[in-house]
Structure 1
Amino acid sequence: MIRAVTVNIGAAARERAERMLRWLADRDDDVVMLTETSAGPGTAWILEQYRRAGYAVINTPDDGDRGAALISRIPVTAHQPDFGQVSIPARVATARLDTRPATWWVSVYVPSRDRSADKTTRKELFITSLLKAIAQLGPDERGHLVIGGDYNVIAADHRPLHPGFLPFEFGMLDTLTAEGFTDTHAHMAPEAQPYSWIGRTGDGYRYDYVHVGSELTGRIRDCAYLHETRTEALTDHAAVELHLDLETARLPVESLARPTSLGLF
Protein backbone atom coordinates (compact mmCIF):
# COMPACT_ATOMS: atom_id res chain seq x y z
CA MET A 1 0.00 0.00 0.00
CA ILE A 2 1.27 3.47 -0.83
CA ARG A 3 0.02 6.84 0.35
CA ALA A 4 0.17 10.03 -1.69
CA VAL A 5 -0.91 13.61 -1.06
CA THR A 6 -1.33 16.71 -3.17
CA VAL A 7 -1.46 20.21 -1.72
CA ASN A 8 -1.29 23.74 -3.09
CA ILE A 9 1.37 25.52 -1.01
CA GLY A 10 0.47 29.01 -2.22
CA ALA A 11 4.07 30.04 -3.07
CA ALA A 12 4.84 29.83 0.64
CA ALA A 13 7.39 32.20 2.12
CA ARG A 14 10.04 30.66 4.37
CA GLU A 15 8.14 30.84 7.68
CA ARG A 16 5.00 29.25 6.24
CA ALA A 17 7.11 26.76 4.28
CA GLU A 18 8.62 25.56 7.57
CA ARG A 19 5.15 24.99 9.03
CA MET A 20 4.01 23.24 5.86
CA LEU A 21 7.00 20.91 5.93
CA ARG A 22 6.36 20.14 9.59
CA TRP A 23 2.87 18.99 8.61
CA LEU A 24 4.20 16.95 5.69
CA ALA A 25 6.94 15.40 7.83
CA ASP A 26 4.38 14.16 10.33
CA ARG A 27 2.52 12.38 7.49
CA ASP A 28 5.46 10.49 5.97
CA ASP A 29 3.89 10.07 2.50
CA ASP A 30 5.34 7.96 -0.29
CA VAL A 31 4.51 10.58 -2.95
CA VAL A 32 3.96 14.31 -2.47
CA MET A 33 2.55 16.44 -5.31
CA LEU A 34 3.04 20.15 -4.59
CA THR A 35 1.32 22.86 -6.59
CA GLU A 36 1.71 26.64 -6.72
CA THR A 37 5.38 26.27 -6.08
CA SER A 38 7.57 29.26 -6.90
CA ALA A 39 11.16 30.30 -7.47
CA GLY A 40 11.17 31.88 -4.00
CA PRO A 41 13.08 30.76 -0.90
CA GLY A 42 10.13 28.92 0.69
CA THR A 43 9.69 26.41 -2.14
CA ALA A 44 13.45 26.02 -2.55
CA TRP A 45 13.83 25.27 1.16
CA ILE A 46 11.12 22.60 1.20
CA LEU A 47 12.55 20.84 -1.85
CA GLU A 48 16.09 20.99 -0.48
CA GLN A 49 15.04 19.35 2.79
CA TYR A 50 13.51 16.47 0.85
CA ARG A 51 16.62 16.12 -1.33
CA ARG A 52 18.91 16.10 1.71
CA ALA A 53 16.74 13.42 3.30
CA GLY A 54 17.18 11.20 0.24
CA TYR A 55 13.86 11.66 -1.57
CA ALA A 56 13.64 11.96 -5.36
CA VAL A 57 12.56 15.51 -6.28
CA ILE A 58 11.27 16.50 -9.72
CA ASN A 59 10.86 20.23 -10.24
CA THR A 60 11.21 22.58 -13.21
CA PRO A 61 11.60 26.08 -11.77
CA ASP A 62 10.45 29.07 -13.75
CA ASP A 63 11.42 32.49 -12.42
CA GLY A 64 8.42 34.14 -14.00
CA ASP A 65 5.63 31.78 -13.00
CA ARG A 66 4.26 29.35 -10.43
CA GLY A 67 4.72 25.64 -10.90
CA ALA A 68 4.45 22.08 -9.63
CA ALA A 69 6.81 19.59 -7.99
CA LEU A 70 6.79 15.84 -7.45
CA ILE A 71 8.53 14.30 -4.45
CA SER A 72 8.92 10.54 -4.03
CA ARG A 73 10.47 8.07 -1.62
CA ILE A 74 9.68 5.43 -4.26
CA PRO A 75 12.58 5.08 -6.73
CA VAL A 76 12.17 6.98 -9.98
CA THR A 77 12.94 4.85 -13.02
CA ALA A 78 14.68 6.11 -16.14
CA HIS A 79 11.56 6.54 -18.26
CA GLN A 80 9.32 9.54 -17.70
CA PRO A 81 6.22 10.53 -19.67
CA ASP A 82 6.87 13.29 -22.21
CA PHE A 83 4.94 16.40 -21.26
CA GLY A 84 7.32 18.81 -22.96
CA GLN A 85 4.55 19.94 -25.31
CA VAL A 86 2.50 21.39 -22.45
CA SER A 87 2.28 25.15 -22.92
CA ILE A 88 3.80 25.96 -19.50
CA PRO A 89 6.19 23.07 -18.72
CA ALA A 90 7.03 24.29 -15.20
CA ARG A 91 3.43 23.65 -14.16
CA VAL A 92 3.82 19.90 -14.72
CA ALA A 93 6.19 17.54 -12.87
CA THR A 94 6.24 13.93 -14.06
CA ALA A 95 7.96 10.65 -13.26
CA ARG A 96 7.67 6.89 -13.64
CA LEU A 97 7.86 5.24 -10.23
CA ASP A 98 9.10 1.78 -9.35
CA THR A 99 5.83 0.31 -8.15
CA ARG A 100 4.32 -3.05 -9.09
CA PRO A 101 2.72 -2.56 -11.51
CA ALA A 102 4.75 0.43 -12.67
CA THR A 103 2.96 3.77 -12.37
CA TRP A 104 3.38 7.14 -14.03
CA TRP A 105 2.70 10.28 -11.97
CA VAL A 106 1.82 13.84 -12.96
CA SER A 107 1.69 16.74 -10.52
CA VAL A 108 -0.09 19.62 -12.24
CA TYR A 109 -0.97 23.22 -11.45
CA VAL A 110 -3.49 24.62 -13.93
CA PRO A 111 -3.32 28.43 -14.27
CA SER A 112 -6.03 30.51 -12.68
CA ARG A 113 -7.62 33.34 -14.62
CA ASP A 114 -9.70 36.46 -14.37
CA ARG A 115 -12.02 37.89 -17.01
CA SER A 116 -9.21 39.16 -19.21
CA ALA A 117 -8.79 37.61 -22.64
CA ASP A 118 -5.06 37.02 -22.17
CA LYS A 119 -5.41 34.96 -18.99
CA THR A 120 -8.42 33.09 -20.35
CA THR A 121 -6.47 32.13 -23.48
CA ARG A 122 -3.45 31.16 -21.39
CA LYS A 123 -5.52 28.82 -19.23
CA GLU A 124 -7.35 27.28 -22.17
CA LEU A 125 -4.10 26.66 -24.04
CA PHE A 126 -2.58 24.98 -20.99
CA ILE A 127 -5.57 22.67 -20.44
CA THR A 128 -5.76 21.81 -24.14
CA SER A 129 -2.05 21.01 -24.33
CA LEU A 130 -2.13 18.97 -21.11
CA LEU A 131 -5.05 16.85 -22.28
CA LYS A 132 -3.34 16.34 -25.65
CA ALA A 133 -0.16 15.14 -23.92
CA ILE A 134 -2.17 12.67 -21.84
CA ALA A 135 -4.09 11.41 -24.88
CA GLN A 136 -0.82 10.76 -26.75
CA LEU A 137 0.60 8.48 -24.05
CA GLY A 138 0.69 4.79 -24.78
CA PRO A 139 -2.18 2.69 -23.42
CA ASP A 140 -0.01 1.18 -20.65
CA GLU A 141 1.17 4.60 -19.47
CA ARG A 142 -2.32 6.07 -19.63
CA GLY A 143 -3.87 3.12 -17.83
CA HIS A 144 -1.34 3.36 -14.98
CA LEU A 145 -1.22 7.15 -14.75
CA VAL A 146 -1.89 9.12 -11.56
CA ILE A 147 -2.74 12.81 -12.06
CA GLY A 148 -3.04 15.11 -9.07
CA GLY A 149 -2.98 18.76 -8.21
CA ASP A 150 -4.84 22.04 -8.37
CA TYR A 151 -6.85 21.99 -11.59
CA ASN A 152 -8.55 25.36 -10.96
CA VAL A 153 -11.79 24.03 -12.47
CA ILE A 154 -15.05 22.67 -11.13
CA ALA A 155 -17.32 19.95 -12.50
CA ALA A 156 -20.46 20.69 -14.45
CA ASP A 157 -22.47 19.10 -11.60
CA HIS A 158 -20.70 21.03 -8.84
CA ARG A 159 -22.95 22.06 -5.97
CA PRO A 160 -23.46 24.98 -6.14
CA LEU A 161 -22.72 25.49 -9.82
CA HIS A 162 -20.85 28.78 -9.60
CA PRO A 163 -21.35 31.16 -12.54
CA GLY A 164 -18.52 32.32 -14.73
CA PHE A 165 -16.84 29.04 -15.64
CA LEU A 166 -16.40 28.41 -19.34
CA PRO A 167 -17.00 25.22 -21.39
CA PHE A 168 -13.28 24.44 -21.71
CA GLU A 169 -13.00 24.44 -17.91
CA PHE A 170 -15.84 21.96 -17.43
CA GLY A 171 -14.38 20.08 -20.39
CA MET A 172 -11.14 19.25 -18.56
CA LEU A 173 -12.88 16.90 -16.13
CA ASP A 174 -15.25 15.59 -18.80
CA THR A 175 -12.31 14.73 -21.07
CA LEU A 176 -10.43 12.92 -18.31
CA THR A 177 -13.53 10.83 -17.66
CA ALA A 178 -13.95 10.11 -21.36
CA GLU A 179 -10.28 9.02 -21.51
CA GLY A 180 -10.96 6.41 -18.83
CA PHE A 181 -9.65 8.25 -15.77
CA THR A 182 -11.33 7.88 -12.40
CA ASP A 183 -11.91 10.78 -10.01
CA THR A 184 -10.63 9.00 -6.89
CA HIS A 185 -12.69 10.88 -4.33
CA ALA A 186 -15.89 10.62 -6.35
CA HIS A 187 -15.19 6.91 -6.68
CA MET A 188 -15.02 6.50 -2.90
CA ALA A 189 -17.78 8.99 -1.99
CA PRO A 190 -20.02 9.51 -5.05
CA GLU A 191 -22.67 11.56 -3.22
CA ALA A 192 -20.25 13.93 -1.48
CA GLN A 193 -19.48 17.50 -2.55
CA PRO A 194 -16.20 18.47 -0.89
CA TYR A 195 -14.64 21.90 -1.22
CA SER A 196 -10.90 22.40 -1.35
CA TRP A 197 -10.87 26.20 -1.56
CA ILE A 198 -13.16 28.76 0.06
CA GLY A 199 -13.60 32.14 -1.61
CA ARG A 200 -13.74 35.54 0.09
CA THR A 201 -17.54 35.34 0.07
CA GLY A 202 -17.50 31.99 1.86
CA ASP A 203 -18.43 30.00 -1.26
CA GLY A 204 -16.74 26.61 -1.63
CA TYR A 205 -15.02 25.30 -4.74
CA ARG A 206 -13.59 21.89 -5.49
CA TYR A 207 -10.37 22.78 -7.28
CA ASP A 208 -7.98 20.04 -6.14
CA TYR A 209 -8.21 16.46 -7.45
CA VAL A 210 -6.49 13.14 -7.95
CA HIS A 211 -7.36 10.99 -10.97
CA VAL A 212 -6.07 7.52 -11.85
CA GLY A 213 -6.01 5.57 -15.09
CA SER A 214 -8.33 2.67 -15.79
CA GLU A 215 -5.86 -0.01 -14.67
CA LEU A 216 -5.58 1.58 -11.22
CA THR A 217 -9.26 2.14 -10.41
CA GLY A 218 -9.55 -1.23 -8.70
CA ARG A 219 -6.54 -0.37 -6.54
CA ILE A 220 -8.07 2.73 -4.93
CA ARG A 221 -8.44 2.08 -1.21
CA ASP A 222 -9.21 5.55 0.15
CA CYS A 223 -9.28 9.21 -0.82
CA ALA A 224 -9.97 12.14 1.49
CA TYR A 225 -9.80 15.92 1.65
CA LEU A 226 -7.63 17.09 4.55
CA HIS A 227 -8.87 20.47 5.71
CA GLU A 228 -6.31 21.08 8.44
CA THR A 229 -4.01 22.67 5.89
CA ARG A 230 -6.63 25.44 5.56
CA THR A 231 -7.77 25.62 9.18
CA GLU A 232 -4.18 25.76 10.44
CA ALA A 233 -3.36 28.49 7.88
CA LEU A 234 -0.64 26.47 6.19
CA THR A 235 -2.24 27.36 2.84
CA ASP A 236 -5.69 28.37 1.58
CA HIS A 237 -6.33 24.93 0.04
CA ALA A 238 -7.31 21.58 1.49
CA ALA A 239 -4.94 18.73 0.68
CA VAL A 240 -6.07 15.52 -1.01
CA GLU A 241 -4.84 12.15 0.27
CA LEU A 242 -4.88 8.94 -1.79
CA HIS A 243 -4.22 5.34 -0.79
CA LEU A 244 -3.40 2.92 -3.63
CA ASP A 245 -2.90 -0.81 -3.29
CA LEU A 246 0.52 -1.08 -4.93
CA GLU A 247 3.68 -2.94 -3.99
CA THR A 248 6.93 -0.98 -3.99
CA ALA A 249 10.48 -0.77 -2.73
CA ARG A 250 11.23 2.48 -0.91
CA LEU A 251 14.33 4.63 -0.92
CA PRO A 252 16.36 4.60 2.32
CA VAL A 253 15.33 8.13 3.26
CA GLU A 254 16.01 9.91 6.53
CA SER A 255 13.11 11.12 8.59
CA LEU A 256 12.21 14.73 7.87
CA ALA A 257 11.37 15.09 11.56
CA ARG A 258 14.99 14.61 12.74
CA PRO A 259 16.34 18.07 13.57
CA THR A 260 19.79 16.70 14.40
CA SER A 261 20.31 15.26 10.90
CA LEU A 262 18.66 17.95 8.80
CA GLY A 263 18.45 20.99 11.01
CA LEU A 264 14.82 21.52 10.10
CA PHE A 265 12.92 22.63 13.12
Structure 2
Amino acid sequence: MPPTAPARRPRGSGDPSSGLSVLTVNIGAAARPRADRLLQWLTGRDDDVVLLTETSAGPGTAHLLDRFARAGYTVVNTPDDADRGAALISRVPVLDDRLPSLDKVSVPGRVAAAVLDTRPRLYVIGVYVPSRNRSTAKTDRKQRFTATVLDALTALPDEHRDGLLLSGDHNVIARTHHPPLPGFLPFEYDFLDRLGAFGLVDVHDHHHPHAPHPHSWIGRTGDRYRYDYLHLARPLTGRITDCSYLHDTREQRLTDHAAVTATLRLDHTPRLPVTPITEADDNALF
Protein backbone atom coordinates (compact mmCIF):
# COMPACT_ATOMS: atom_id res chain seq x y z
CA MET A 1 0.00 0.00 0.00
CA PRO A 2 1.18 3.59 -0.63
CA PRO A 3 2.50 5.47 2.39
CA THR A 4 -0.32 7.13 4.32
CA ALA A 5 -0.08 10.02 6.73
CA PRO A 6 -2.46 10.65 9.63
CA ALA A 7 -5.23 13.18 9.07
CA ARG A 8 -3.78 15.52 11.68
CA ARG A 9 -0.13 16.50 12.01
CA PRO A 10 0.45 17.92 15.49
CA ARG A 11 3.19 20.52 15.68
CA GLY A 12 3.77 20.96 19.38
CA SER A 13 5.49 24.19 20.35
CA GLY A 14 5.45 25.87 16.90
CA ASP A 15 9.23 26.43 17.08
CA PRO A 16 10.22 28.48 14.00
CA SER A 17 12.99 25.98 13.25
CA SER A 18 10.47 23.11 12.95
CA GLY A 19 9.31 21.58 9.68
CA LEU A 20 7.05 23.35 7.23
CA SER A 21 4.01 21.36 6.10
CA VAL A 22 2.41 22.03 2.73
CA LEU A 23 -0.76 20.45 1.36
CA THR A 24 -2.44 20.63 -2.03
CA VAL A 25 -5.95 19.42 -2.84
CA ASN A 26 -8.46 19.85 -5.66
CA ILE A 27 -11.73 20.96 -4.02
CA GLY A 28 -13.94 20.38 -7.06
CA ALA A 29 -15.59 23.83 -6.96
CA ALA A 30 -17.22 22.84 -3.67
CA ALA A 31 -20.67 24.25 -2.97
CA ARG A 32 -21.27 25.63 0.51
CA PRO A 33 -22.30 22.40 2.33
CA ARG A 34 -19.27 20.49 1.06
CA ALA A 35 -17.04 23.52 1.66
CA ASP A 36 -18.11 23.45 5.32
CA ARG A 37 -16.96 19.83 5.58
CA LEU A 38 -13.71 20.60 3.75
CA LEU A 39 -13.05 23.47 6.14
CA GLN A 40 -13.55 21.18 9.12
CA TRP A 41 -11.09 18.67 7.64
CA LEU A 42 -8.48 21.31 6.79
CA THR A 43 -8.67 22.96 10.21
CA GLY A 44 -8.35 19.55 11.85
CA ARG A 45 -4.86 19.46 10.40
CA ASP A 46 -1.92 21.77 11.13
CA ASP A 47 -0.53 22.70 7.71
CA ASP A 48 1.48 25.86 7.18
CA VAL A 49 0.62 26.26 3.50
CA VAL A 50 -2.53 25.00 1.77
CA LEU A 51 -2.88 25.18 -2.01
CA LEU A 52 -6.40 24.71 -3.34
CA THR A 53 -7.17 23.91 -6.96
CA GLU A 54 -10.47 23.95 -8.84
CA THR A 55 -11.67 26.86 -6.78
CA SER A 56 -14.62 28.84 -8.11
CA ALA A 57 -16.36 32.19 -7.78
CA GLY A 58 -19.18 30.52 -5.87
CA PRO A 59 -20.11 30.76 -2.17
CA GLY A 60 -18.28 27.56 -1.21
CA THR A 61 -14.82 28.82 -2.19
CA ALA A 62 -15.63 32.26 -0.78
CA HIS A 63 -16.57 30.69 2.56
CA LEU A 64 -13.35 28.65 2.77
CA LEU A 65 -11.08 31.59 1.97
CA ASP A 66 -13.02 33.98 4.16
CA ARG A 67 -12.76 31.77 7.24
CA PHE A 68 -8.98 31.44 6.84
CA ALA A 69 -8.53 35.17 6.20
CA ARG A 70 -10.58 36.10 9.27
CA ALA A 71 -8.41 33.78 11.37
CA GLY A 72 -5.26 35.68 10.32
CA TYR A 73 -3.92 33.54 7.48
CA THR A 74 -2.70 35.21 4.30
CA VAL A 75 -4.89 34.27 1.33
CA VAL A 76 -3.70 34.67 -2.27
CA ASN A 77 -6.42 34.32 -4.87
CA THR A 78 -7.21 35.85 -8.26
CA PRO A 79 -10.95 35.22 -8.71
CA ASP A 80 -12.37 34.79 -12.19
CA ASP A 81 -16.15 34.60 -12.44
CA ALA A 82 -15.93 32.68 -15.71
CA ASP A 83 -13.40 30.02 -14.76
CA ARG A 84 -12.06 27.71 -12.08
CA GLY A 85 -8.82 28.66 -10.36
CA ALA A 86 -6.24 28.22 -7.64
CA ALA A 87 -5.76 29.76 -4.19
CA LEU A 88 -2.93 29.78 -1.66
CA ILE A 89 -3.45 29.95 2.11
CA SER A 90 -0.39 30.60 4.30
CA ARG A 91 0.27 30.71 8.02
CA VAL A 92 3.86 31.67 7.19
CA PRO A 93 4.38 35.41 6.56
CA VAL A 94 4.23 36.26 2.86
CA LEU A 95 6.84 38.70 1.54
CA ASP A 96 5.26 39.03 -1.90
CA ASP A 97 2.13 37.55 -3.47
CA ARG A 98 3.26 37.70 -7.07
CA LEU A 99 6.14 36.58 -9.23
CA PRO A 100 6.31 38.93 -12.24
CA SER A 101 6.92 36.26 -14.87
CA LEU A 102 3.61 34.59 -13.94
CA ASP A 103 1.68 37.64 -15.13
CA LYS A 104 1.97 36.29 -18.68
CA VAL A 105 0.33 32.92 -17.96
CA SER A 106 -2.63 32.54 -20.32
CA VAL A 107 -5.20 32.07 -17.51
CA PRO A 108 -3.84 34.02 -14.50
CA GLY A 109 -6.60 32.90 -12.14
CA ARG A 110 -5.36 29.32 -12.36
CA VAL A 111 -2.07 30.27 -10.68
CA ALA A 112 -1.51 31.39 -7.07
CA ALA A 113 2.00 32.29 -5.90
CA ALA A 114 3.76 33.64 -2.83
CA VAL A 115 7.27 34.30 -1.58
CA LEU A 116 7.46 32.97 1.98
CA ASP A 117 9.56 34.50 4.74
CA THR A 118 11.47 31.30 5.43
CA ARG A 119 15.14 30.43 5.51
CA PRO A 120 15.98 29.23 2.95
CA ARG A 121 13.43 31.32 1.05
CA LEU A 122 10.54 29.41 -0.53
CA TYR A 123 8.85 30.53 -3.74
CA VAL A 124 5.54 28.66 -3.76
CA ILE A 125 3.36 28.31 -6.85
CA GLY A 126 0.02 26.51 -7.04
CA VAL A 127 -1.24 25.62 -10.52
CA TYR A 128 -4.54 24.25 -11.79
CA VAL A 129 -4.05 23.07 -15.37
CA PRO A 130 -7.26 23.12 -17.45
CA SER A 131 -8.88 19.82 -18.30
CA ARG A 132 -9.89 19.08 -21.88
CA ASN A 133 -12.02 16.89 -24.04
CA ARG A 134 -11.56 16.06 -27.70
CA SER A 135 -12.52 19.53 -28.89
CA THR A 136 -9.88 21.63 -30.59
CA ALA A 137 -10.73 24.69 -28.49
CA LYS A 138 -10.20 23.00 -25.12
CA THR A 139 -7.09 21.18 -26.32
CA ASP A 140 -5.57 24.43 -27.58
CA ARG A 141 -6.45 26.18 -24.33
CA LYS A 142 -4.75 23.51 -22.23
CA GLN A 143 -1.68 23.44 -24.47
CA ARG A 144 -1.34 27.23 -24.35
CA PHE A 145 -1.68 27.27 -20.57
CA THR A 146 0.99 24.61 -19.98
CA ALA A 147 3.31 26.35 -22.46
CA THR A 148 2.92 29.74 -20.76
CA VAL A 149 3.48 28.21 -17.30
CA LEU A 150 6.71 26.64 -18.53
CA ASP A 151 7.75 29.94 -20.12
CA ALA A 152 7.09 31.71 -16.81
CA LEU A 153 9.19 29.20 -14.88
CA THR A 154 12.02 29.58 -17.38
CA ALA A 155 11.94 33.36 -16.91
CA LEU A 156 12.33 33.16 -13.12
CA PRO A 157 15.65 34.42 -11.73
CA ASP A 158 18.01 31.78 -10.35
CA GLU A 159 17.25 32.62 -6.71
CA HIS A 160 13.57 31.87 -7.31
CA ARG A 161 14.24 28.68 -9.25
CA ASP A 162 16.52 27.30 -6.52
CA GLY A 163 13.81 27.79 -3.89
CA LEU A 164 10.77 26.79 -5.93
CA LEU A 165 7.91 24.62 -4.66
CA LEU A 166 5.35 23.90 -7.40
CA SER A 167 2.13 22.08 -6.64
CA GLY A 168 -1.37 21.47 -7.86
CA ASP A 169 -3.65 19.48 -10.13
CA HIS A 170 -1.81 19.29 -13.44
CA ASN A 171 -4.39 17.13 -15.26
CA VAL A 172 -1.58 15.17 -16.92
CA ILE A 173 0.18 11.89 -16.23
CA ALA A 174 3.82 10.86 -16.57
CA ARG A 175 5.13 8.65 -19.35
CA THR A 176 5.92 6.10 -16.65
CA HIS A 177 2.37 6.12 -15.23
CA HIS A 178 1.22 2.75 -13.92
CA PRO A 179 -0.97 1.44 -15.30
CA PRO A 180 -0.40 3.01 -18.74
CA LEU A 181 -3.45 4.97 -19.85
CA PRO A 182 -4.37 5.99 -23.41
CA GLY A 183 -5.65 9.31 -24.63
CA PHE A 184 -2.93 11.76 -23.59
CA LEU A 185 -1.20 13.95 -26.15
CA PRO A 186 2.55 14.60 -26.50
CA PHE A 187 2.34 18.12 -25.03
CA GLU A 188 0.73 16.68 -21.87
CA TYR A 189 3.57 14.24 -21.27
CA ASP A 190 6.03 16.99 -22.13
CA PHE A 191 4.75 19.16 -19.27
CA LEU A 192 6.08 16.84 -16.56
CA ASP A 193 9.20 16.06 -18.60
CA ARG A 194 10.05 19.75 -18.82
CA LEU A 195 9.46 20.30 -15.10
CA GLY A 196 12.11 17.66 -14.49
CA ALA A 197 14.47 19.20 -17.05
CA PHE A 198 13.87 22.56 -15.40
CA GLY A 199 15.32 21.15 -12.16
CA LEU A 200 12.14 20.31 -10.26
CA VAL A 201 11.97 16.97 -8.47
CA ASP A 202 8.80 14.98 -7.84
CA VAL A 203 8.67 15.04 -4.03
CA HIS A 204 6.81 11.75 -3.58
CA ASP A 205 8.98 9.79 -6.00
CA HIS A 206 12.13 11.22 -4.42
CA HIS A 207 11.07 10.44 -0.86
CA HIS A 208 9.49 7.04 -1.63
CA PRO A 209 11.54 5.68 -4.57
CA HIS A 210 10.34 2.10 -4.07
CA ALA A 211 6.70 2.78 -3.15
CA PRO A 212 3.81 1.64 -5.36
CA HIS A 213 2.72 4.15 -7.98
CA PRO A 214 0.33 6.62 -6.28
CA HIS A 215 -2.98 7.81 -7.74
CA SER A 216 -5.02 10.86 -6.84
CA TRP A 217 -8.19 10.59 -8.93
CA ILE A 218 -10.39 7.67 -9.98
CA GLY A 219 -12.54 8.00 -13.09
CA ARG A 220 -16.08 6.72 -13.55
CA THR A 221 -14.70 3.60 -15.23
CA GLY A 222 -12.46 2.85 -12.26
CA ASP A 223 -9.25 3.93 -14.00
CA ARG A 224 -6.76 5.48 -11.57
CA TYR A 225 -4.87 8.64 -12.48
CA ARG A 226 -2.09 10.56 -10.82
CA TYR A 227 -3.03 14.17 -11.52
CA ASP A 228 -1.95 15.94 -8.31
CA TYR A 229 1.71 16.66 -7.57
CA LEU A 230 4.26 18.42 -5.43
CA HIS A 231 7.55 19.36 -7.11
CA LEU A 232 10.55 20.91 -5.38
CA ALA A 233 13.74 22.58 -6.58
CA ARG A 234 16.59 20.07 -6.58
CA PRO A 235 18.79 22.06 -4.11
CA LEU A 236 16.04 21.62 -1.47
CA THR A 237 15.38 17.89 -1.83
CA GLY A 238 17.65 17.04 1.10
CA ARG A 239 15.15 18.87 3.31
CA ILE A 240 12.19 16.59 2.52
CA THR A 241 11.15 14.63 5.62
CA ASP A 242 7.74 13.30 4.53
CA CYS A 243 5.35 13.09 1.59
CA SER A 244 2.01 11.29 1.37
CA TYR A 245 -1.17 11.01 -0.66
CA LEU A 246 -4.15 11.37 1.69
CA HIS A 247 -7.19 9.48 0.41
CA ASP A 248 -9.53 10.36 3.25
CA THR A 249 -10.60 13.42 1.23
CA ARG A 250 -11.99 11.01 -1.38
CA GLU A 251 -13.22 8.39 1.05
CA GLN A 252 -15.14 11.01 3.05
CA ARG A 253 -16.49 12.49 -0.20
CA LEU A 254 -15.04 15.90 0.58
CA THR A 255 -13.79 15.95 -3.02
CA ASP A 256 -13.03 13.38 -5.72
CA HIS A 257 -9.25 13.94 -5.41
CA ALA A 258 -6.72 12.74 -2.89
CA ALA A 259 -4.72 15.47 -1.16
CA VAL A 260 -0.92 15.51 -1.32
CA THR A 261 1.16 16.66 1.63
CA ALA A 262 4.86 17.08 2.32
CA THR A 263 7.02 18.32 5.16
CA LEU A 264 10.29 20.20 4.69
CA ARG A 265 12.98 20.76 7.32
CA LEU A 266 13.84 24.45 7.08
CA ASP A 267 16.24 26.56 9.13
CA HIS A 268 13.63 29.18 9.99
CA THR A 269 9.85 29.07 9.62
CA PRO A 270 8.08 32.01 11.30
CA ARG A 271 4.31 31.74 11.69
CA LEU A 272 1.53 34.29 11.87
CA PRO A 273 -0.45 34.57 15.14
CA VAL A 274 -3.59 32.95 13.73
CA THR A 275 -6.71 32.28 15.76
CA PRO A 276 -8.85 29.12 15.76
CA ILE A 277 -11.33 29.01 12.91
CA THR A 278 -14.88 29.01 14.25
CA GLU A 279 -18.36 29.45 12.83
CA ALA A 280 -18.97 33.05 11.82
CA ASP A 281 -21.41 35.13 9.85
CA ASP A 282 -21.78 34.70 6.11
CA ASN A 283 -20.34 38.08 5.07
CA ALA A 284 -17.54 36.74 2.87
CA LEU A 285 -14.43 38.76 2.14
CA PHE A 286 -13.89 37.15 -1.28
Q: TM-score, normalised to structure 2's length?
A: 0.89
Alignment equivalent of 2:222, drawn from 202, 211, 217: 202
Q: 2:62: which partner in 1?
A: 44
Aligned pairs (5 A) from 1:176-187: 176-187=195-206
Q: 1:104: which partner in 2?
A: 123
Alignment pair present for 1:219 and 2:243? no
Q: Secondary structure at the match of 1:147?
A: strand
Aligned residues: 261
Q: 1:168: which partner in 2?
A: 187
Alignment equivalent of 2:34, drawn from 12, 16, 28: 16
CA-to-partner distance for each residue in 1:120-163, whole Å, 9 max, x for gaps?
A: 00000000000110011011101101001000000001011110
Indicate conservation of the 8 Å contact 1:33/1:107, yes or no: yes
Aligned pairs (5 A) from 1:1-265: 1-78=19-96, 80-82=98-100, 83-191=102-210, 192-246=212-266, 247-256=268-277, 258-259=278-279, 262=280
CA-to-partner distance for each residue in 1:13-50, whole Å, 9 max, x for gaps?
A: 00000000000000021000000000000000000000
Q: Secondary structure at the match of 2:96?
A: coil
Higher relative contact order (CA 8 A, sep 6+): 2
Structure 2 CA distance for aligned equivalents of residues 255 and 75 of structure 1:
17
Indicate conservation of the 8 Å contact 1:80/1:104, yes or no: no
Give the C-alpha shift of residue 200 in structure 1: 0.4
Structure 2 CA distance for aligned equivalents of residues 224 and 11 of structure 1:
23
**Aligned-residue CA RMSD (Å):** 1.2
Structure 1 unaligned regions, length at least 5: none
**Percent identity of equivalent pairs:** 57
Structure 2 unaligned regions, length at least 5: 1-18
Give the C-alpha shift of residue 80 in structure 1: 3.3
Give the C-alpha shift of residue 179 in structure 1: 0.8
Q: TM-score, normalised to structure 1's length?
A: 0.96
Give the C-alpha shift of residue 190 in structure 1: 2.0
Indicate conservation of the 8 Å contact 2:121/2:163, yes or no: yes
User: Residue 121 of structure 1 aligns to which amino acid in structure 2?
Assistant: D
Structure 2 CA distance for aligned equivalents of residues 130 and 190 of structure 1:
27
